[in-house]
Structure 1
């Protein structure tokens, strides 16, 4: 039996285009399945978190990250009596709008798109699931329920100041859809969507530590100085003295993972109890999030982020990659702008309909954002005659 404030698929707000409901799946299960079967979801297999996709089969990709986030979200939602399927759908969809080359690719594309409204990966996710996925005969996009779209759009919190705010500062992709189908961007999302958001934080903080260790960007001793980590290593050494370094690392980091989840559950359970919420709509209208970490854990996670920023995201080897792949995006954008017929044939109808430079730029951004790391590198080599990585398809990073 779910909690009274859990989202109920029987009372979901429906879809932009009316459809007959499935006899075998709830509306949220159907949303989740459509996301999994989407082309954009499959492409996440070859899009990276931090390291370029070709470097090693061991590092996380956007696909493995999304699966890990969904697993955490399912556990938390189940424990709190929330709707597991809605949390999973939002978690699986949350990174669909990411460009090739992780946040580096997004930064490069955003800079190129500044004259045309900028680029935001979360808004691009909405664009993908409401327009760019074109497999169904009766509509563009996936025609997800309002509840799932709301969760994708504002899982990190409200995006406008109030119901009368026209949202003129919103990313264009999000504003365009919201003008058509009001997602009530001035309120918080459902508890399920909030779970997906913080499950993302738990997953990437832990797996970026793991991938950074695997890449040799820092040592076990350095990471053990972080909050929770030293204690976790000490507990493993006490319980399993003499265990090999590989098992020791895994056992320590999974304990850190568990501490974060437990903290979130304890704090969120108390907030939900104190809130007096009796429905999912009550959660939206509370004016504050109901899924949260303790103040202590929030501070500890901030320390994790600072460490990861300096030791991973700005590591010399990663910065060299950033410069190279930024150049790749910088080169591809003007090539397609100058000759949009270079886009695949199925894009030509949209190209012909583009009446101005801004519309054309947004189509080019859609195309580049949808590329995988591998395809972007191949297209760059094909169209420029140069190898942005100078032939270094393996960097020599550790494959521990």
Structure 2
């Protein structure tokens, strides 16, 4: 593994040579004075936390519609869990924790209400106008839609944070994929400020991405069990998860259900994090990247699960897809969510005068494609309960 200590973090902690150096950031699109108290990535993190889009995550869900219960994860609680896991992994690997945290906190800002059901419905409605992609929507929020600062639209984040937000799952331009296949918002912004869409993101972005997978699968086990969509016994045949449950039961005979679930999830997260750290160290030692740019040019991820755990994780994902995401109760909620989003888009696109003043005036000055994008921005920014209330106001004659 490359010698550590070649990069010094803003707080004086030694970082690995392949870490993103906060003192060597490529900067911001709009020049600003450098902070004397916070690194560039700490400022990015703080700007995300103070954004309107971040606050709205409190009332956006991933699987369950907001009113279904108070204990299911929301986009906000999921985001905080991702940030905690990402910081832990980065600290162990001597990477920049603040950049990973900023990326973790921003990664879900572009999601619609009602999770993937809402996104599917909005994408279908937007098909004639360029489609809808939550990753591109996150970039729009970070660079255009947040109106907080006097000097610029968006949050004016660093190049490294914007690069990681767009490319955390890997290169966008690759064999068989051209710029014409990508969301217009990403292509247009990268034309203004090159995000190097054909390379991998830095290691901190890769950590944020895999932390998302770890948090997502584990909290869906928790939420699914508590909602009664499946039972502990259903998980026993799964590799890894079943072994952990049996281990907990052996160590704590007769343990109550709630504690059994928590102990299982806690141990599963720990196993996954330790596996990522071990596999990442192995890949770093083999590749020996001398800088963060060398990580970007490796042609593959350095942050990953081992082959064994990747197979176990795929088995868990398959289980959750069949037993949770396609459960009849979830199907009913997602069906309703799709109809709500489709109805809202159809009406507001045809009658932009029904939009609030700021949005309506923007929509009425656009051509059809531009008007559709304004309506999509408006709907994507809604929380679950606001979307339900707006649908009721517009379609219930007695509301």
Equivalent of 1:207 in 216, 219, 226: 219
- 3-state secondary structure, aligned to 1:168: helix
1:248 maps to 260
* Contact preservation (8 Å) 2:57, 2:74: yes
CA RMSD of aligned residues (A): 1.4
Report Cα offsets for 1:44-100 as digits up to 9, x if no partner.
000001000111110000000000000000000110000000000111100000000
2:52 maps to 39
Matched, 1:368 2:399: no
Matched, 1:381 2:384: no
- 3-state secondary structure, aligned to 2:372: helix
Matched, 1:195 2:202: no
Q: 1:183 and 1:112 mapped to 2: Cα distance?
A: 28
2:333 maps to 321
Q: 1:368 and 1:188 mapped to 2: Cα distance?
A: 31
* Contact preservation (8 Å) 2:352, 2:364: no
Q: 2:360 and 2:260 mapped to 1: Cα distance?
A: 54
* Contact preservation (8 Å) 1:268, 1:291: yes
Q: 1:253 and 1:182 mapped to 2: Cα distance?
A: 40
Q: 1:321 and 1:81 mapped to 2: Cα distance?
A: 43
Equivalent of 1:69 in 78, 82, 87: 82
* Contact preservation (8 Å) 1:380, 1:386: no
| Structure 2, gaps ≥5 residues long | 1-13
Taking structure 1 as the reference length, the TM-score comes to 0.94
| Structure 1, gaps ≥5 residues long | 392-400
Equivalent of 1:174 in 180, 186, 204: 186
- Within 5 Å, give how 1:241-390 maps onto structure 2: 241-354=253-366, 356-385=367-396
Structure 1 residue ranges (4+ consecutive) displaced by more than 4 angstroms after TM superposition? none
Report Cα offsets for 1:251-281 as digits up to 9, x if no partner.
1121111111111110001111211111111
Taking structure 2 as the reference length, the TM-score comes to 0.94
**Equivalent residue pairs, number:** 385
2:9 maps to none
Once the two structures are TM-superposed, the CA of residue 182 in structure 1 deviates from its matched residue by 0.9
246-255 vs 344-353, greater mean Cα deviation: 344-353
- Within 5 Å, give how 1:82-161 maps onto structure 2: 82-161=95-174
Q: Aligned in 2, Cα 1:15/1:377: closer, same or farther, shift over 3 Å?
A: same
Q: 1:372 and 1:326 mapped to 2: Cα distance?
A: 14
Matched, 1:56 2:69: yes
2:6 maps to none
Matched, 1:217 2:232: no
Q: 1:353 and 1:16 mapped to 2: Cα distance?
A: 27
Q: 1:364 and 1:385 mapped to 2: Cα distance?
A: 20
Report Cα offsets for 1:304-353 as digits up to 9, x if no partner.
11101111100000111111111111111111111212222222442243
Once the two structures are TM-superposed, the CA of residue 386 in structure 1 deviates from its matched residue by 6.9
Q: 2:90 and 2:392 mapped to 1: Cα distance?
A: 45
Q: 1:206 and 1:224 mapped to 2: Cα distance?
A: 15
Q: 1:175 and 1:22 mapped to 2: Cα distance?
A: 30
Q: 1:331 and 1:205 mapped to 2: Cα distance?
A: 31
Report Cα offsets for 1:144-169 as digits up to 9, x if no partner.
0000000000000000138xx86121
Q: 2:105 and 2:196 mapped to 1: Cα distance?
A: 22
